[in-house]
Amino acid sequence: MSFLRPEFLWALPLVAVPILIHLLNRRRFQRVEFGAMEFLRRALRRTRRRLLLEDLLLLLLRTFAVLFLILALARPGAEAGTVLAGRPARGEVVVLDASLSMDHRSGGSSAFERARGRAEKLLAGLDGERGDRAALIVAGLEAERRAFGDPAEVRAALEELDRPGAGGAALAAALEQALRSADSLGREGPQTVRVTVLTDLQASAWDLEGPEGEALLRVARAGHALALVDTGALRRENLAVLGVELEPRELQPGESVEVSVRVRRFGPPGEARPFRLSLLLDGAPAVTAEESLAGGEERVLSWPLEAAETGMRGVEARLENDALPGDDRRAAILEVRPPPEVVLAGVPAPLGEPPGVLEVLQEFLDLGPEGPVRLRFVAPERLDPASLAGAGVVVLADPGPLPPRAVEALAAHRRRGGGLVLALGPRTRSEVWESLAEGLGLEGLRVGGRIEVGEPWARLHLEDEEHPALVLFADPRWRPLLTEVPFQAFREVSLPAATEGGSAAGWRVPLRFVRPAAGGGSEDHGPALAEFEDEGGRAAVLAAAPLPAWNLLPQVPGGALPFLLELLRHLEPRSGHAREIAVGAPLEVELPSPPTELSVTDPEGRVLLGAEAGQELLPGGRVLLRAVPRARTPGLWTVNARLLDEEGQEFLLRERVAVLPPEAESDLAPLDPGRLREFLPPDASLETAGATPEEDGEAPAPARPRDLAPTLYLLVAAFLAAETLLAAWIDRQRG
């Protein structure tokens, strides 16, 4: 409360004047004794209580008349919204949408800035000293209650919010928190609690038939006032990069990758407008193109890109910033791998006999120092950790029995994530293969005898065209180079616990032997390529190795060589973590050993220390490193880890991960207001974009304090009138 003439408050001691007069009046009478005194005393004792009450009432009326007269002269005023101004304490719960789409700018401000400004106005009229309470709920990647209770603290928390996040909004969870907060505020004193949702009402984020709609109805049915305010723009246009695709995602130095960028202009149909798109490789511009798109139109732009340097390369597509900059860039990871280190182990064919699997594979894979693989030969009995050091894939070309230390070295190689190929041939006995498979953790694998087929010869059938070793042959032009080659003989392979689809737990059969059946169709003759994968790595069993005595693959190198090279690349050790994750997902990388030093760099170039990163030990000594609990910034993240090799030498390993913004946030189309009004209860308030002066940035005129002086003057007059009437009645009663 404020006073226009506070100098009159110095007269408040005059309130004691009626009390002093009352006390003085009691002392001016003299006591006189006479004969009938005793009868008067008895009468007074009977009426004393009534007389005291009458005098007390007169005293109170006179005292309050003086008090209210002094207060009226001081001209008190009550601020609008206070108890003296005639309203009870209020509660305000603000739910603020902090999704990527709220960063869309129009008219010099973003939807988030307009929402924050509206929230400031809602909280400005609240005063904690008068019983008002408030709460602020931010709906970003997760729902978070930033402040609760004192309106001043809530306003301070609101001032700390500068911009929205780069992901979606947990609106349903935020509304549930708002409901709990409103219930708590109601128990603290406010008689009315309002829940105001400040959002752009993006259609892709509000599922009225799903959790968001259910949460809205729960808030309304709880008895709290509900208001939805659309702070989005009236005209919502947006140009966005929706995807970056690489084909292939892995290549060797000097090879090229096809980069496809998907771009869309969201908004109503209209005239095509130009835009500039840049393609960057590790931050350096590689391609710049100028195109145009009309509203509602989408286009895929493609370019070839060469990468000579090995490692995890970041490919990024960028648009010149438009009204929503958060979706103007999108990244992908291109892995440029050096030629795989391949160890070939086997027993040469005896003199005078046809070449075996070892000789044929060596002829295919030994293509010189500049070839696609780096091949070295190791005798089977000499396989040990030293001979396998640095090897990515080990190929066992129809070997004989292996000593226990060789089997253990191969098992350790697989536990570290190394690849393994068991190339079947004519010389190894079945029991030897089964013992080897058991020692390598491939229990249940059975290798049968040699199967001879007459005409029509058996051929290969692509069971899984998406398998990395068979992608080339998915093209009908190149498929005959593999599937039309005759096979006269091969080794029988059976897998454990075969399922209905022909595969088994942990096994994958991308290639099979088939033979035309007499009545039409084809007969299945078992796996030609079976792949096993578990936490220890990948292993492949190849029953279709090039062998002149068994098939014509050596005569068709254009089919056999690509198949073998892609199979070896596929089996190379690689990290098990995802290369691309969504905004808000944990950033995890898999390392070959625990790091001695760690740092993480986000897309904005900030270096984060990895002291608090969590680690999980994996088989073979590998480590899953949880570098960042939530990657909130889209773009390229880099993890630099220093590790120790087998000889104790330190080396630097760099892993990169692309963090992608949600595609749904790029479509800014709002909910249909008519449908939303039908969905909401009748007492719920809905304010669409541009419907009120606040949308134009005009603040409402401040409420003037209410002058209470006239009310006090009326009270003074009422007290004086009551005192006069009461005094006249008392005088009449007392004679």
* Average pLDDT score over residue span 136-165: 95
Angle (CA) 666-280-163 rounded to 5° is 40
Q: What is the pLDDT of residue 1?
A: 58
pLDDT at residue 209 is higher than 50: yes
- Contact, 688 vs 674, CB < 8 A? no
**Which tokens belong to 283?**
């931050």
pTM, full prediction: 0.75
Q: How many other CB atoms sit within 10 Å of the CB of residue 100?
A: 27
**Which tokens belong to 118?**
């509206």
pLDDT at residue 36 is higher than 90: no
* Average pLDDT score over residue span 441-451: 85
Q: Out of 80-94, 137-151, 475-489, 690-704, which region has the weakest mean confidence (pLDDT)? A: 690-704
**Which tokens belong to 73?**
């002269």
| 131 contacts: CB under 8 Å, gap ≥ 6 | 83, 88, 89, 189, 190
Residue written as token pair 């490692």:
311
Q: What is the pLDDT of residue 489?
A: 92
Band of the pLDDT at 593, cuts 50, 70, 90?
confident
pLDDT tens-place string over residues 660-713: 999 999 999 999 999 999 999 888 999 987 664 443 333 333 444 556 778 878
pLDDT tens-place string over residues 249-285: 888 888 899 999 999 999 988 889 999 999 999 999 9
- Contact, 654 vs 640, CB < 8 A? yes
In 3-state terms, what secondary structure has residue 72? helix
**Which tokens belong to 287?**
């391609």
**Which tokens belong to 225?**
């006032």
Domains of the chain in start order, with CATH, are 2-79+708-734 (no CATH), 90-235+669-704 (3.40.50.410), 238-337 (2.60.40.10), 341-571 (3.40.50.880), 580-660 (2.60.40.1220)
Look over the chain and give the mean of its residue pLDDT values, rounded to a whole number.
86
CA distance 111 to 115: 6
The residue type of 517 is: A
pLDDT at residue 308 is higher than 90: no
Q: Quote the DSSP letter at residue 438.
A: H
CA distance 391 to 429: 27
Residue 173 φ/ψ, nearest 5 degrees = -65, -35
CA distance 486 to 552: 6
Q: What is the pLDDT of residue 53?
A: 79
pLDDT at residue 500 is higher than 90: no
CA distance 111 to 235: 12
* Average pLDDT score over residue span 218-238: 92
CA distance 470 to 564: 10
CA distance 277 to 301: 10
pLDDT at residue 650 is higher than 60: yes
CA distance 247 to 266: 27
Q: What is the pLDDT of residue 84?
A: 46
* Average pLDDT score over residue span 425-435: 83
pLDDT at residue 59 is higher than 60: yes
Q: What is the pLDDT of residue 655?
A: 92
Higher-confidence position of 134 and 129: 134
Of 391, 281, 381, 299, which Cα lies nearest the Cα of 341?
A: 391
Q: What is the pLDDT of residue 699?
A: 36
| 254 contacts: CB under 8 Å, gap ≥ 6 | 306, 308
- Mapping DSSP onto H, E and C, the string for 243-278 reads EEEEECCEECCCCEEEEEEEEEEECCCCCCEEEEEE
Q: What is the pLDDT of residue 704?
A: 46
Sign of the torsion formed by the C-alpha atoms of 104, 110, 113 and 115: negative
In 3-state terms, what secondary structure has residue 337? coil
CA distance 310 to 254: 10
Band of the pLDDT at 82, cuts 50, 70, 90?
very low
* Average pLDDT score over residue span 121-134: 88
Residue written as token pair 């340097």:
309
- In the chain, the largest separation of any two C-alpha atoms, in whole Å, equals 165
Residue 548 φ/ψ, nearest 5 degrees = -55, -35
Distance of CA 677 to the CA centre of its chain: 30
* Average pLDDT score over residue span 15-19: 76
pLDDT at residue 191 is higher than 60: yes
pLDDT tens-place string over residues 630-642: 999 999 999 999 9
pLDDT at residue 38 is higher than 70: no
b/e burial code for range 45-65 (CB count within 10 A of at least 16 → b)? eeeeeeeeebeeebbebbbbb
Residue 346 φ/ψ, nearest 5 degrees = 180, 180
Q: What is the pLDDT of residue 696?
A: 36
Q: Quote the DSSP letter at residue 488.
A: S
The Cβ-side half-sphere exposure at 88, using a 13 Å CA radius, reads 8
Q: How many other CB atoms sit within 10 Å of the CB of residue 9?
A: 13
- Contact, 462 vs 474, CB < 8 A? yes
CA distance 251 to 245: 14
* Average pLDDT score over residue span 90-107: 94
CA distance 564 to 607: 42
Q: What is the pLDDT of residue 610?
A: 57
- Considering the chain, what percentage of its residues have pLDDT values greater than 90? 50
* Average pLDDT score over residue span 325-345: 94
Q: What is the pLDDT of residue 81?
A: 44
* Average pLDDT score over residue span 599-626: 81
CA distance 233 to 108: 11
b/e burial code for range 456-493 (CB count within 10 A of at least 16 → b)? eebbbbbbbeebbbbbbbeeeeebebbbebebbebbbb
* Average pLDDT score over residue span 568-583: 90
> From the CA atom positions of the chain, what is the Rg in Å?
43
CA distance 394 to 419: 6
Q: What is the pLDDT of residue 78?
A: 58
